[in-house]
Copies of this chain bind each other. A is one copy, B any other.
Amino acid sequence: MTARLLVDGVAAERVSVLDRGFGYGDGLFESIRLVGTRAPLWARHMQRLTAGCERLLIPAPDPDQLWHETQQVRADMAHAVVRITVTRGIGERGYAPPATPRPTRVVAAFPPPPVGEAAIHGVRMRLCRLRLAEQPRLAGIKHLNRLEQVLARAEWNDPAIAEGVLCDGHGHVISATMANLFAVIDGELLTPAVDRCGIAGVARAEVLEATSVRVAEIPLDTLAGASELFLSSSVRGIVPVQSLERWTWAPGAVARRLQQHWRDLGFSMEQGG
């Protein structure tokens, strides 16, 4: 079986236009890095997906079924990113959720982005003009309402700039457009809270458990005094930040230590190791 796309377990490339994922962005997704048949952060992805389904009142899919379908779509790819999308399924016109939703499940395999160079030398970043809105009811979840990220990412097309920093309306740093953000300030590793906006990244959760991190408010200006800045992403791993606008950094010891942790997890090819 070489299908790269499964819709509700069947090889298919299309979903109904009446699917609430298409109509309202009414669903969630996970982007999962595979190394061969392994997905080192699988349990965390399933945990977040299940928690997100609960918060959106969508019946959660069966992780075993998702695992089986993930292996089907990756087929013989040595490296893959598998995107799992779960929506509230087909519904009548109108926002009211169906009384008994039958969720739609899409599992799709993609070639992973190249990350070796970024992991070694770090990436250049810019500051996004768009400020993230604060919505505690949706914060943390990897839901399908991603226009903020799309508009933020549309602010530049210079391929030399890998990522953009997103702040909230108070000028506090929240994340990058597709990664979480960590800073070492006064010798302490900090990362922003994601309970008002932002996404609770699976890689972020791994970092929080692997080392000592304080979840803190990080005003943008304080990054000027950071000794180290790096990103975490379930697809890209630990990526040092080389520059943000006029500020520059060298890859630091904390990022290197976490990259070693990533290699220990099984992500050897992606972390320049």
A85 with B25: CB separation less than 8 A = no
Nearest to A153 among chain B residues (CB) is B95
- If A17-B106, A133-B135, A134-B134 touch, does A96 touch B24 (CB 8 Å cutoff)? no
How far, in whole Å, are A24 and B28 apart by their CA atoms in the complex? 9
B56 with A146: CB separation less than 8 A = no
- If A13-B17, A57-B154 touch, does A24 touch B147 (CB 8 Å cutoff)? yes
How far, in whole Å, are A197 and B133 apart by their CA atoms in the complex? 10
- If A21-B22, A130-B137, A137-B148 touch, does A13 touch B13 (CB 8 Å cutoff)? no
How far, in whole Å, are A23 and B21 apart by their CA atoms in the complex? 8
Please give me the 4 A-B residue pairs with the lowest Cβ-Cβ distance, nearest first: A25-B25, A14-B14, A145-B145, A133-B135
A25 with B144: CB separation less than 8 A = yes
Which B residues are in CB contact (< 8 Å) with A152? Answer: 95
Query: How many residues of chain A get a CB closer than 8 Å to chain B's CBs?
Result: 58
B17 with A16: CB separation less than 8 A = no
Which B residues are in CB contact (< 8 Å) with A7? Answer: 17
- If A17-B85, A95-B178, A135-B133 touch, does A26 touch B110 (CB 8 Å cutoff)? no
The answer, yes or no, to whether A93 is at the interface (CB within 8 Å) is yes
Known: A83-B93, A94-B113. 10 other contacts (CB 8 A): A20-B150, A24-B145, A56-B147, A81-B93, A95-B152, A96-B153, A97-B154, A133-B138, A137-B148, A144-B147
A25 with B108: CB separation less than 8 A = no
A144 with B23: CB separation less than 8 A = yes
A5 with B24: CB separation less than 8 A = no
Task: Choose from B13, B94, B137 the contact partner of A178 (Cβ within 8 Å).
Answer: B94
Which B residues are in CB contact (< 8 Å) with A137? Answer: 130, 148, 151
The answer, yes or no, to whether A149 is at the interface (CB within 8 Å) is yes
The answer, yes or no, to whether A30 is at the interface (CB within 8 Å) is no
The answer, yes or no, to whether A160 is at the interface (CB within 8 Å) is no
The answer, yes or no, to whether A19 is at the interface (CB within 8 Å) is yes
B31 with A93: CB separation less than 8 A = yes
How far, in whole Å, are A26 and B135 apart by their CA atoms in the complex? 19
How far, in whole Å, are A178 and B92 apart by their CA atoms in the complex? 14
The answer, yes or no, to whether A36 is at the interface (CB within 8 Å) is no
Nearest to A113 among chain B residues (CB) is B94
